[in-house]
Amino acid sequence: MLDQLIGRIPKPLLVFLILAAGTAFVIFSEPPISVCDVQTSAFKEAQDKFLFSQSKTKNSQLAKETQYDRLFDYCRQNNSPGGCLEFFRKLKLMTFDVERVSLECKTKLSQIKAYKSAVWDSLELLVRLAWGAKPPETYHEKLGWLSPADLNVFCRLKDQATQVFSDQSYAKFQERMLQSLPGQEGMPRDEAWRLLLLSVNCRNYQ
């Protein structure tokens, strides 16, 4: 009976109905793509070689390692301007790509695990590099060997940490740094904060 009914429908109309049904299925079976989805995808594509693994090998440690991981470890181990130069350069490019995401869409970036780790881990590394193995003896030593260009990267990360995540997340990070740096035990809180890189006035470096 169904075959007879279909047979009575003119072929041009039948083709139109099939195409319309197919289009409707696609529209309703997949959620619409938003502006934020497009911007997030563009960010992922731009940072593909830095934040995400390029290895085609599965079930190996190499498959999990990223360019970010290698540069982060090299910077941490060398603890010098030359050892961190390329890492800081890549971080700065990452912050440029974040700036291309509109303010109302930035919170979607917080759902990208690799980006989230890059922001918080890099901020912590910069804080620890500046602090050193013991508390800086003077306010002027709190920057360590970091140059104005390095501090610009730090400040960009710091600003984006509150934009993309939240003031509460940044406050928790700040507190954790205050309590975990070597030699801070027994120091007055105000003194530790004064010597901490997080207290630097970023307006001087942006």
Query: For residues 199 and 191, what is the distance between their CA atoms, to the nearest angstrom?
Result: 11
Domain boundaries, the chain: 35-204
d(CA 180, CA 128) in angstroms, rounded, equals 10
pLDDT of 105 over the 50 cut: yes
- Do 90 and 68 form a contact (C-beta atoms < 8 A)? yes
Confidence of residue 171 (pLDDT cuts 50, 70, 90): very high
Secondary structure of the chain as H, E, C letters: CHHHHHHHCCHHHHHHHHHHHHHHHHHHHCCCCCHHHHHHHHHHHHCHHHHCCCCCCCCCHHHHCCHHHHHHHHHHHHCCHHHHHHHHHHHHHHHHHHHCCCHHHHHHHHHCHHHHHHHHHHHHHHHHHHHCCCCCCCHHHHHCCCCHHHHHHHHHHHHHHHHHHCHHHHHHHHHHHHHHCCCCCCCCHHHHHHHCHHHCCHHHCC
Predicted structure pTM score: 0.80
Is the pLDDT at 32 greater than 50? The verdict is yes
Q: How confident is the model at residue 4 (pLDDT cuts 50, 70, 90)?
A: low
Mean pLDDT value across residues 5-27: 51
Percent of residues, the chain, with pLDDT higher than 70: 80
Q: Give per-residue pLDDT as tens, 173-185.
A: 999 999 999 998 8
| pLDDT at residue 13, rounded to an integer | 53
Whether the pLDDT of residue 3 is over 80: the answer is no
- When mean pLDDT is compared across 54-58, 92-96, 184-188, the lowest value belongs to 54-58
